[in-house]
Chains A and B, each alone.
Chain A
Amino acid sequence: MDKYQYQAVRIMEYVMLVAAIILIIFGKITGDTFFLRLATEALIFGGLALSVDLLLGIVGLLSLGQALYFGFGAYLSALILRDWVPSFWLCILLVAISSAILGWVTSYIALRSKGVYFALISFGLAQVFAKSIYNTRALGASDGMVGVPIVQIPLPFLTLNLGDAITFFVVTFILMSCIYFALKYFLYTPLGRIWGGVRSNESRLPYLGYNTQTPKRIAFILAAIVAGVSGALYPMLRGFVSPELMYFSVSGNAVITVVLGGVGTLIGSLFGSSLLMILKSIIGTLTFHHHIVIGLLFIVVVIFAPKGIVGILCTKLKERATR
């Protein structure tokens, strides 16, 4: 990460923070909840994109099936909240632990392969899971599950009600910030350095005395946890889950989000997700066929700005500094 990228990431962190504060004030004054709920959803899918970026941008593994863990988290969260006990903390904790176990088990399948084959095997795994859920009557089959109750979060001094749009947004924002900074912290540990090594030249690392399989497995499990916890928030927001959450379009969208924001920057995932959500809702009000515009946007970004928004910001900063 050079000086300019460091600056670009810092700027975008501030932009996100300011945007969140403006949104909260706007919501408080007008009492409008539509945009807040939209922003919350953007952050939730941003969490999924974060996990894709951890694998793709940091370790160099393209996952086309990250929706598997997202959907798993969402279903498990819906089951816990609806049928067992509507407790926020217990739900997040259980989802995190089970996602880690699922990630650990599936890593033994997925990490046998590299490159394109890793992408395809992760895609296949998600497909098996999605189709199995789709066929399971006990999990609502193609209809999914509805009727997830509104959750209260008990804190030492007050109780937060997630039915309130502002509260939910703040909780999601704080949770995603925690995940973001935790992942960023990992980058500066010895483990994070090995990840960078795996990305640049995996076959050389063993010659330097490093085992690459364990760091990759840790990244894979971490990504599963991040995706699972993000998914756990989804039914709390929308009140339902459906098998579409595990479909390829969700995984594919997450990859596109990462590329739009900037691969390997982490903040790009959250930023890209918000931007994509804004674009979708703006274009969606103008025309019924918004997919055409979104598709064109991806093509333009991939061809002209393959480093995403962070990349554009970087070149701008560099131009200004060298002028």
Chain B
Amino acid sequence: MLESLQYIYAPQIINGLSIGVAVILMALGLTIIFGLLDVINMSHGEFYAAGAFLGVSLMGLGISFWWTLIIVPLLLVPFGYLMQELLIKKVFHHKDRHILTLLLTFGVATILEDLYKVIWGANTAKPATPITGASEVLGVMFPNYRLFLMMFGALLIFAVWLLIYKTSIGSIVRAATLDRNMSASLGIPVNRVYALTFAFGVALAALSGVLLAPIYSVFPTMGKDFILMAFAVVIVGGLGSIKGAVIAGLLLTQLQSLSSLFISPVWSDPIVFAVMVLVLMFKPSGLYAGMKNG
């Protein structure tokens, strides 16, 4: 009993955790963009792919992995800023905003995915793991990079939470969400806050792309495969909630990795989405909806 716990469940749980942290990072960007701008960003997965591709290219130029962790998200900030300013702002006050922004970002996703094929080709790349070796946790060996990913990701998630709920920047962002006109009359440059928030979400997606590139491979459609999981996490957690994204992210990835012990892993995706549908049936706005309560 104890042995099966140690050798069968523990590795699955820890593997699930490392995937979970990565998914939560993706979901954070999505949920912040939705919570603040009320925009469902369909191109989020493509920004994640952009991060991975840029990371691989920069490392090919001889820049170390640790620098790409900083450079790549910064490279995508202006892109996110311009996307909000030039595209999304145009349909922001339309009454069908949800549909139109969804289509806009879907269009951007279509372009980007094809662009990656033009620039980087359709082949799969896999960067070298920046941290090699393995360590023993609970008597089982784990790759060091996965352990690093978990710690770093957890720190990052905590930092984002601190930024939004405990700093003055965060309160400006939340104020702009809550009441746009009131914030504007108090002197908050609402449009710039919106654009910077969008850019911040994009940068988060790019960062998770860089972080995950050494574990998964890098290919043009990689965003599509991963975004569905991130969407499920955001939906179950409640659109706009950081706490919800963390809880749902851990829950769904554990469900995914533990269920693969009992049934064929190909069924884990349908199970995750079935849980998502079930949650929506009984709590139609997810576990914690909105940016208000953390």
B-contacting residues of A (Cβ < 8 Å)? 56, 62, 109, 112-117, 119-121, 123-125, 127-128, 131-132, 134-135, 248, 252, 255-256, 259, 263, 289-292, 294-299, 302-303, 306
| A residues less than 8 Å from B111 (CB atoms) | 291-292, 295-296, 299
A131 to B90, alpha carbons, bound, how many Å?
36
A298 touches B103 (CB 8 A): yes
Q: Which single residue of chain B is at the shortest CB-CB distance from A130?
A: B270
How would residues 186 to 198 of chain B score, 1 for a CB under 8 Å from any chain A CB and 0 otherwise?
Answer: 0000000000000
Q: What 8 additional pairs, Cβ within 8 angstroms, besides A117-B284, A256-B103?
A: A62-B99, A115-B98, A121-B277, A125-B277, A127-B228, A134-B266, A295-B109, A296-B111
Instruction: List chain A residues, Cβ under 8 A from B109.
Output: 295
In the bound assembly, the distance between CA atoms of A15 and B239 in angstroms comes to: 43
A121 to B283, CA, bound (A): 12
Q: Is the CB of B239 within 8 A of A116?
A: yes
Rank and list the top 10 A-B pairs by shortest CB-CB distance, nearest first: A295-B111, A295-B110, A298-B107, A291-B114, A113-B284, A131-B270, A299-B107, A128-B273, A295-B107, A127-B273
A259 to B239, CA, bound (A): 25
What is the minimal beta-carbon distance from B241 to any residue of chain A, in angstroms?
A: 14
Complex contacts, B107 vs chain A, CB 8 Å: 295-299, 302
Whether B274 and A128, one on each chain, are in contact in the complex, defined by CB atoms closer than 8 angstroms, is yes
Q: Compute how far the CA of A248 lies from the CA of B267 in the bound complex, rounded to whole angstroms.
A: 18
Check B114–A292 contact: CB distance below 8 A.
yes
Say yes or no for B118: interface residue by CB 8 A criterion. yes
- State the CA gap A128–B106 with chains docked (Å): 21
Q: Are B273 and A291 in contact (CB under 8 A)?
A: no
Looking at chain B's contact residues, the main secondary structure is helix
Contact-residue bracket for chain B: 35 or more
Contacts of A303 in B (CB 8 A): 87, 90-91, 104
CB distance from B56 to the nearest CB of A (A): 20
Chain A: interface secondary structure? Answer: helix
Among B42, B100, B281, which residue has its beta carbon within 8 angstroms of that of A306? B100
B59 within 8 A of A: no
B277 and A295 contacting across the interface, CB-CB below 8 Å: no
Among B99, B118, B274, point to the contact of A289 (Cβ < 8 A).
B118
22 residue pairs from A and B, CB less than 8 Å apart: A56-B99, A62-B102, A113-B284, A117-B280, A119-B102, A120-B280, A121-B281, A124-B235, A127-B228, A131-B273, A135-B266, A255-B102, A289-B118, A292-B111, A292-B114, A295-B110, A296-B107, A298-B106, A299-B104, A299-B111, A302-B100, A303-B87
Which residue of A is nearest B42, CB measured?
A: A252
Please give me the residue from chain B that is nearest to A113 by CB atom: B284
Query: Closest CB-CB distance, A241 to chain B, in whole Å?
Result: 19
Residue-by-residue, is B1-15 near A (CB-CB < 8 Å gives 1, otherwise 0)?
A: 000000000000000
